[in-house]
Amino acid sequence: MSAQAQPSVPLLAMTCVHKRFGGVRALRGADLEVTRPGVVHALLGQNGCGKSTLLGVLSGQLRPDEGTLAIDGRAVTFHSPVSALAHGVAMVAQETAVAPDLTVAENVLLGRLAGRRAGVNWKQTRRLAVAALEQIGADYDPDSLVRTLRPDQRQMVEIARALSTNAKILVLDEPTSSLSDDEVEGLFAAIRRVTANGVSVIFVSHRLTEVFAISDEITVMRDGLTVATGNAGDYGPSGAVAAMVGEVDLSVSREIYEESRDENAALSVRHLSSPGCLDDVSLDVGDGEVVGLAGLVGSGRSELLEAVFGVRPAQAERVAVAGAELARRSPRASIRRGLGFLPPDRKTQGLVLGMSVRHNLAMTATCGRGRLRAPRRRDEEAFCAAIAEKVNIVAPLESLAGTLSGGNQQKVAIGKWLVHAPKVLLLDEPTRGVDVAAKADIHQHLRDAAAQGMALLISSSENDELLALCDRILVMYRGRVVASLAADEATEARLASLTGGHT
Amino acid sequence: MSTDALAAARPAQKGPAARLWASSRPFRPVLLVDIVLFVGLSVTQDGFFKWMNMQNILSSVSVLWIVAMAMTFVLISGGFDLSVGAIAGLCSVFLAKVLEGSMPGVPALILTILLGGVVGALANGIFIGVFRLSVFVVTLASMTALSGVVLVWSQTQSIYVTAPIVSQIAVNSYLGLQAPIWIMLGVFVVFLYVQNRTYFGRDLYATGGSFQAARLAGIRTTLTIVMVYAISGAAAGLAGAIGVGRVGAATPQVDGSVALQAIAAVLLGGTSLIGGSGGVGGTVFGVLFIGILQNGLNMAGVESSWQYIVTGVILLLAVLGDRLGRVEGGLGGRIKRLFRRGGGTPDATCAVDPMED
């Protein structure tokens, strides 16, 4: 990465790329330039700004309507992902695409197993796979099944697969969105090894601290256009955010909750255990209090919320909402008692993508009505419009939820719990995969809901989110609550060491 | 998505006619085929476009129609039901037996429909909804077992029925229309109402669209599924009763093709096998397609076996057209692009959802 090695011709240059889907202009002249081999280039922008479309074009999955693509100064056209690979561009998608029942080696060399005529040469295959994994510092057993790996390890397998094609440009679409902090460190170590070998990495993430920890160059997109590009150091997080959002107020106004616990807390959990994931958890959340759950992936944060809501079998001495004990443990019974639950995956759990925004918003509010009764459309339109306005959903009520951008989808998933406000709302990763502006929006709505007396229990893998939002943070480690920190005594560093199992 | 792009994409406030047209999108292919077939037969076959023949077409598909309406609900909920033919057979034997035992017609008919519902709920609904067993296995098993029950119970003999109720629901005419047509209309209106105007209808779409999301939103997904199979069984019971009337007897041989024909009609009508979309409106045209085709081929003196070949091919084309139309810019855009590129490879690899960033 020395200055003299810098060639005048960029490694990758996408110029003035246009792409339209029906009436939607996803790209309106976007540029992307990776200057040289061995750099980390961050691609930033809010949800719906055209990042994924641009990456789709780069990886050969979409064909641009206009625009040029040049690698090492030579113009190329990609007809398919295969031809992109042939030109050295390999992409790892946001959702892992591994075959869980094949071995690590088979997954790394998927479709390219060694040996042709006399069947598969397993020895050779294993050796190639190990070599590819070594490039990123992963020492997994090539014969173990991918099913047995953790999600972050599966991602490493995918990166190894991409590298084993001799890629010059590795595209990682939100690789950190489902990783915990220490897993992100592992990923970054891998990225540093890869770039040291002269491969350039294009990296998409919504977490700005990460972006500036690893990137050499950045490109910022907004509304299908490239609005800023250059050295990461010239921008810094605030400069990048300014470019991404234009003028938006990102501060969250809040009042620190004052400790005034009474006997009948909004949510009271005593001695809750679930085999293999929760070990004797007790906690209280007061009216209007925002309590965070910090912890690594697998620490039991998500499982705790599921167990409280009644989707995960668990034994407890007592789970009570506003003093009333929950006897029957099912989502429906919990909702009746005044609990709400925002699941972590909006696409499969939070929303029915094939139904309209209105039907999704009205779903929980009307789940107690007689099933042969007729919904009153006018009423429903009125209260759904009010909610949409309140949480700032920028989409018509009658459009299908699946056609919305990630941020809007998440607002619908949250909005449906605000129609008939529950006493306690459990939220798992309330802002996963949404852009900064939508995130600030969502944080503000949550604070507002708390100000009106709703108790919130929020699980998040992003500690800075919990620090910004919560009155109190409970730290979980291996299924137990190991610490409880008030807002003013919690810091990034303290959370980092506590979640890692140190005290 | 930027606000101005959104404003451009937002349709203007639609009137009822425009909404109806928009909702016909999934079944436009079969609607087109129906119209072509209908017009073609009217022009070429003298006897086709006659009032009596129209009635014959409708009443000839009455059993299929009723079964297919309920099957639409089953498909929307994310399943299918292979056992409807067997349940219909069971109910027809039941009806014949109780009428033989000189039970009055109306209670006998009601009991028959109830029996179908109970059998559907117990033999299919409980296993699929509560125990989450595979739809295919459960309905195949109940189809097989119930077919056996029919054989045993009827002692493999046709049971002839002379009670007036069966001809009242299957043969007689009222106000110039044959009874099955009235029943078909009634069934359609009820199903359309339940589908579009009740919370149960929404539960169907939610459960089929995403079982998890529906359950977490407080919807009784298990009950919904049990009810769907109960409805399917009850519809089969009614269809079985009409079948008895049309033949004049309850036959011991279960018609195994009814379920598959009904599923074909539902799929033709634009309801997806994945669940969560479609509706009984489209099923009407799927069933009509089969009815018109049978009638037309008969009239033209073509061997009736051809109807299966044509139905199969059209079904495949309709589903294929739907898939291609979904890729980008609708079917029209799809075909246009094919021509522009000189038949270039379709980019079915379009894994990136354009709206997802």
Question: Is there a contact between B354 and A373 if contact means CB atoms under 8 Å apart?
Answer: no
ipTM comes to 0.82
User: pLDDT tens across A360-389, in order?
Assistant: 999 998 888 888 888 888 899 999 999 998
Q: What's the mean per-residue pLDDT of chain B?
A: 86
Indicate whether B3 pLDDT > 50. no
User: pLDDT tens across A8-18, in order?
Assistant: 788 999 999 99
Q: Give the torsion sign (CA, A134, A136, A142, A144).
A: positive
Chain A residues whose CB is inside 8 A of the B202 CB are 355, 359, 363, 375
Q: How confident is the model at residue A39 (pLDDT cuts 50, 70, 90)?
A: very high
Region B135-155: mean pLDDT is: 95
Per-residue model confidence (pLDDT) at position B342: 41
Among residues 163-202 of chain A, which lie with CB inside 8 Å of chain B?
A: none
Claim to verify: residue A231 and residue A336 sit in the same structural domain: no
Distance (Å, whole) CA A488 – CA A259:
13
Claim to verify: residue A374 and residue A418 sit in the same structural domain: yes
Question: From residue A350, how far is each of A291, A328, A332 by CA, in Å?
Answer: 21, 22, 15
- Closest Cβ–Cβ partner in B199, B217, B333 for A373: B199
Whole-number percent of chain A with pLDDT over 70: 92
- Lowest-confidence range among B225-234, B291-300, B322-331? B322-331
Question: Is there a contact between B2 and A406 if contact means CB atoms under 8 Å apart?
Answer: no
Q: What ranges in A310-435 are assigned the alpha helix state H?
A: 331-336, 357-363, 377-391, 406-415
Residue owning tokens 């502006």: A437
Question: Is there a contact between B357 and A24 if contact means CB atoms under 8 Å apart?
Answer: no
Whole-number percent of chain A with pLDDT over 90: 29
Which tokens in the block code for residue B293? Answer: 């085709």
* Position with higher pLDDT, B193 vs A295: B193
Does the reported pTM lie above 0.90? no
Whole-number percent of chain B with pLDDT over 90: 62
Region A260-284: mean pLDDT is: 81
DSSP A3: G
Range of the domain at A162: 3-245
Claim to verify: residue A17 and residue A158 sit in the same structural domain: yes
Give the end of a domain, one of A191, A215, A245: A245
Burial of A434 (0-12, 13-18, 19+ CB in 10 A): buried
Claim to verify: residue A140 and residue A281 sit in the same structural domain: no
Residue A217: which region, alpha, beta or left (left: phi > 0; alpha: psi -120 to 50)?
A: beta
- Lowest-confidence range among A105-119, A307-321, B294-308, B320-334? B320-334
Query: Could you tell me if B206 lies within 8 Å of chain A, comparing CB atoms?
Result: yes
Per-residue model confidence (pLDDT) at position B346: 36
Chain A residues whose CB is inside 8 A of the B13 CB are none
Does any domain span residue B348?
no
Claim to verify: residue A223 and residue A347 sit in the same structural domain: no
Query: Could you tell me if B212 lies within 8 Å of chain A, comparing CB atoms?
Result: yes
Region A207-221: mean pLDDT is: 86
Query: Could you tell me if A343 lies within 8 Å of chain B, comparing CB atoms?
Result: yes
Region B283-306: mean pLDDT is: 90
Query: Could you tell me if A56 lies within 8 Å of chain B, comparing CB atoms?
Result: yes
Number of domains in chain A: 2
Distance (Å, whole) CA B46 – CA B25:
33
Claim to verify: residue A394 and residue A300 sit in the same structural domain: yes
Interface contacts A/B by beta carbons within 8 Å = 159
Pseudo-torsion of CA A489, A490, A494, A499, nearest 10°? Answer: 130
Question: Is there a contact between B198 and A373 if contact means CB atoms under 8 Å apart?
Answer: yes
Q: What's the mean per-residue pLDDT of chain A?
A: 85
Question: From residue A82, how far is each of A58, A61, A125, A165, B349 by CA, in Å?
Answer: 12, 9, 21, 11, 11
Does any domain span residue B232?
yes
Range of the domain at B90: 26-321
Residues ≥6 apart with Cβ < 8 Å to B134: none
Q: Count, in order, helices (H) and strands (E) of chain A.
A: 16, 20
Number of domains in chain B: 1
Which tokens in the block code for residue A477? Answer: 């480690």
Question: Is there a contact between A61 and B198 if contact means CB atoms under 8 Å apart?
Answer: no
Task: Determine the distance in angstroms separating the CA of A355 from the nearest CA of chain B, rounded to an integer.
Answer: 7
CA-nearest residue to B214 within chain A is A352
Region A156-164: mean pLDDT is: 88
Q: Give the torsion sign (CA, A160, A162, A165, A166).
A: negative
Claim to verify: residue A361 and residue A481 sit in the same structural domain: yes
CATH number of B86's domain: 1.10.3470
Does any domain span residue A254?
no
Query: Quick one: which of A263, A262, A215 has its CA closest to A239?
Result: A215
Distance (Å, whole) CA A483 – CA A228:
42
Claim to verify: residue A202 and residue A320 sit in the same structural domain: no
CATH number of A334's domain: 3.40.50.300
DSSP A480: E
Does any domain span residue A258?
no
User: pLDDT tens across A466-494, in order?
Assistant: 988 999 999 998 888 888 888 888 877 77
Claim to verify: residue A159 and residue A213 sit in the same structural domain: yes
Residue pair A157/A107 in contact (Cβ under 8 Å)? The answer is yes
Claim to verify: residue A238 and residue A343 sit in the same structural domain: no
Claim to verify: residue A85 and residue A212 sit in the same structural domain: yes
Does any domain span residue A129?
yes
Claim to verify: residue A473 and residue A430 sit in the same structural domain: yes
- Lowest-confidence range among A258-262, B165-169, B326-330? A258-262
Residues ≥6 apart with Cβ < 8 Å to B30: B268, B269, B270, B282, B285, B286, B289, B314, B318
Query: Could you tell me if B351 lies within 8 Å of chain A, comparing CB atoms?
Result: yes
Q: How confident is the model at residue B353 (pLDDT cuts 50, 70, 90)?
A: very low
Q: Give the torsion sign (CA, A183, A185, A186, A191).
A: positive
Does any domain span residue B18?
no
